Structure 1
Amino acid sequence: MDKFLTFDCYGTLLNEAGLYDKVEEIAEDIGVDGKSARQRFIKYQDDRSNMHPYVDYDLLTRNNLINLDFQFGLEHKFEKYYVEVLQAHRDLKPFPEVIDTLEKFVSLRYKLIMMSNSSWSIIPQNVETLEVPFDVWTAENVHAYKPDLKFFRAVEQNYGLTPENHIHIARGYASDIVPADALDWPSIWVNRDSDKPTDLARPTHEVNKLDEILPILKADA
């Protein structure tokens, strides 16, 4: 029987701090409070209302920078750094344990599938840095962002995912664990920041780092 692992990318495999550091650095160069700009950027990027109707992720990022200009009463200050911000996203690095753990997943004969709220102008370089083969699905493929069940159902139907052959692995609670629970997908919450659930949905398992998943998979084998 084929075995599948689906993954969220950002925060699960890749550390997003580099992107937010870049936004903070740009803000300081412009002459506004970097910490405030960082938090406002994150809030806009996480707000699903900014994704309806659907826009590609790179345009969402540009809209975010335009919104920062508006928030700080500026004109085309943040927006002109659009290309640099996209490059910072492409340059994100894996968490320390990730590559070694992914190699072990492959050795256990799992097929790895990435499900990312990203776009094809960004994700290839992100995948390359992980050093193992992935099938990749982005919001651009399905014109929907997680937690929209349309994204999850498209992947489920394409591979014939079942509770017996598949586990979903993600840091995103609202974006991944909640919809996985709604579809009865087995899931592992990579709760790097020891967050508290904000919904009745519960993951099948909870870990703090990716390498803590290996005993779970071996136990289920």
Structure 2
Amino acid sequence: MSAAPLPNKPKVITFDTYGTLIDWDGALRAYLTLLFGPDVDVAAFYQRWYYGHALPAVLDEPFKLYRDLLTDTLLAACEQEGLTVTREQAERLGDVMADAPPFADTNPVLDVLRELCPLATISNSQKDILEASAAKMNDPFTFMVTGEVVGAYKPAAPLFERVLELAQAKPDEAVHIAQSQYVDLPRSVPMGIPTIWINRQGQALQPEHPAPTLELPNLTALPRALGLSL
């Protein structure tokens, strides 16, 4: 499958927020370190929680609000690992997500791109969390679509369809910018949306996932890729 080329002037630029614009991984790992202390390999636990519990809950399980998904999957992972955590501590994950800071390159780049065309976010989150994060980014988004709007999570098509409808844009008139090869690329690329993969973690693209139009290590070169400069 060949990814769509970048448009000369997009009608809308859509973003994944967490991991692309907001350092959710860093905030989560810091919180897990606070919970478990120095004797637990937090990086290894994070991998087992995400790939063994959180990602399957997004992809395969009945829809639930994202705060509940975070709580339930952390409790399940801790039970499997023999780690003690209270429900109240697990319920804090939604607040940790809302409090997570933007990456250093996020706000300068968004301030440039918002002059080009409307910006939007398609987020596997929920409204109150996303609004708190948007405030940290100087409220750059004209449109914000979360899982709770359509009762499903990326890579479900309705989230992408909804933001295109709001922006009155065809797939090839948009650009989607995201860090997840698991929930973003498998939907945006087949839909014909030109897609830029922000590969902050230096991951290898898995063969079952479609290649993006462009891969960048961070947001710094994004304005140039879209015909602008900082």
TM over 0.5: yes
Q: Which string of whole-angstrom CA distances, capped at 9 and with x for unpartnered residues, describes residues 3-31 of structure 1? A: 200000011101121122202321228x7
Residue identity matched to 1:114: T
How many Å separate the matches in 2 of 1:73 and 1:111?
A: 47
How many Å separate the matches in 1 of 2:195 and 2:44?
A: 34
Partner of 2:212: 203
The alpha-carbon deviation at position 215 of structure 1 amounts to 1.3
Q: Which string of whole-angstrom CA distances, capped at 9 and with x for unpartnered residues, describes residues 31-53 of structure 1? A: 75544433333232222467521
How many Å separate the matches in 2 of 1:188 and 1:35?
A: 26
**Aligned positions, number:** 216
Q: Residue 168 of structure 1 is aligned with which of 168, 176, 179?
A: 176
1:194 aligns with 2:190: no
Query: Quick check: 1:169–1:188 contact (8 Å CA) kept in 2?
Result: yes
How many Å separate the matches in 1 of 2:144 and 2:194?
A: 20
Identity %: 26
Where do 5+ consecutive residues of structure 2 fail to align?
A: 1-8
Q: Residue 144 of structure 2 is aligned with which of 110, 119, 136?
A: 136
Q: Residue 64 of structure 2 is aligned with which of 32, 40, 55?
A: 55
1:157 aligns with 2:175: no
Q: Secondary structure at the match of 2:71?
A: helix
Residue identity matched to 1:53: P
Higher relative contact order (CA 8 A, sep 6+): 2
Query: Quick check: 1:177–1:187 contact (8 Å CA) kept in 2?
Result: yes
Q: Which string of whole-angstrom CA distances, capped at 9 and with x for unpartnered residues, describes residues 45-93 of structure 1? A: 2224675211110110110132034213466x24230343222111111
Where do 5+ consecutive residues of structure 1 fail to align?
A: none
How many Å separate the matches in 2 of 1:147 and 1:25?
A: 32
How many Å separate the matches in 2 of 1:51 and 1:122?
A: 23
Q: Secondary structure at the match of 1:96?
A: coil
Length-normalised TM-score, structure 1:
0.87
Higher helix fraction (1 or 2): 1
How many Å separate the matches in 2 of 1:21 and 1:188?
A: 28
Residue identity matched to 2:189: D
Partner of 1:24: 33
Q: Residue 192 of structure 2 is aligned with which of 184, 191, 204?
A: 184
* Match runs of 1:31-180 below 5 Å: 34-43=42-51, 44-48=53-57, 52-73=61-82, 77-108=85-116, 110-134=117-141, 135-180=143-188
Partner of 1:10: 18
Q: Secondary structure at the match of 1:47?
A: helix
Residue identity matched to 1:93: P
Residue identity matched to 1:42: Y
Cα separation, partners in 2 of 1:54 and 1:165, compared to 1, 3 Å: same
How many Å separate the matches in 2 of 1:79 and 1:39?
A: 21
How many Å separate the matches in 2 of 1:4 and 1:19?
A: 30
Q: Secondary structure at the match of 1:158?
A: helix
The alpha-carbon deviation at position 216 of structure 1 amounts to 1.6
Cα separation, partners in 2 of 1:165 and 1:35, compared to 1, 3 Å: closer
